[in-house]
Amino acid sequence: MAKSKSEIAIIVQARLASQRVPQKMIRPFAGTTLLDILFHKLADITSLPPSQVFISAFDEPIKEIAAKHNFQVFHRSEESALEERDMRVIFEWHNQLPSQYKYIVMINACNPLLKIDTIDRFIESFATTDELGSFGVVPKKTYYWDQDGAPITDWGDTPTMNTKYVAPVYEAAHCLYASQLDLIGRGYWMCETTPPRLELFPMEELETFDIDEEWQFIVGEKLYEQFVDPGPR
């Protein structure tokens, strides 16, 4: 069943308490910051208006950047900002957003190469799917084995290792997520089954480059300068 886009909110959840890349959200990055990069994109998407964007933050510097971009701020608790496991605490906004919203699209601010068009296509895809959730993935045409050495990839009937002839396996992009909101309160996220069955949204691998370690911050800045903003500095 199609979803009304007026019932879909976008949320960006960010914090400064990263242990591996301290304050990565507000550190200088290619002449700007990771947060500013995403916020500029969200101001330019066409699928949803800026009034349906919320920034979930505990740290004041993040709230200040959100206010500069005229986005609504959800004032996240310290408990939520420090929680690592319970999604009902991590996503404490799940039952506190305005009542018009029944669905959420969550966007990771650590993917500076993510394109505006991809965000729009993800939202449009989620709005039309019958599934309760959608998840960005990267198609991988290569070979995988499980921890016991059993093949995961379907080799078909050929013994040759030629990736042109294998079906893709989809890897989590950790970039774009969508879910029916009330699932969270019941302890679920994006779907109610284990393992999850949900709408998969294939993405270009470069767009999903995720900054989760210090070396990725350094490499990500170079990639951004090369592929997104090659202007003088």
Residue 42 within a domain: yes
Q: Would residue 68 count as lying in a domain?
A: yes
- pTM for the full predicted model: 0.93
- In this structure, is residue 107 part of a structural domain? yes
pLDDT for res 232: 58
Rounded-to-10 torsion of CA 186, 191, 105, 91: 30
Nearest to 65 by CA among 26, 100, 114, 27: 26
How much is the pLDDT for 164?
82
Residue 192 in domain: yes
**CATH number of the domain residue 122 falls in:** 3.90.550.10
In a domain, residue 99? The reply is yes
Residue 71 located in a structural domain: yes
**Ranges in the chain, pLDDT < 70:** 1, 231-233
132 occurs within a structural domain: yes
Alpha-carbon distance of 166 to 181, in angstroms, equals 36
Q: What is the pLDDT of residues 122-161, one digit of tens each?
A: 999 999 999 999 999 999 989 999 999 998 888 777 777 8
> What is the secondary structure of the chain as a DSSP string?
-PPPGGGEEEEEE--S--SSSTTTTTS-BTTB-HHHHHHHHHHH-SSS-GGGEEEEESSHHHHHHHHHTT-EEEE--HHHHH-SS-HHHHTGGGGTS-TT--EEEEE-TT-TT--HHHHHHHHHHHHH-SSSEEEEEEEE-S--B-TTS-B-S--TT--S--GGGS--EEEEEEEEEEEETHHHHTT-SS-SSSS---EEEE--GGGG----SHHHHHHHHHHHHHHT-----
Let me know if residue 80 belongs to a domain.
yes
At 152 the pLDDT is: 87
Domain count, the chain: 1
- Domain with 54 in it: 5-137+171-227
Using alpha carbons, select from 228, 171, 165, 227 the residue that is nearest to residue 202: 171
- pLDDT single digits (tens) 23-35: 999 999 999 999 9
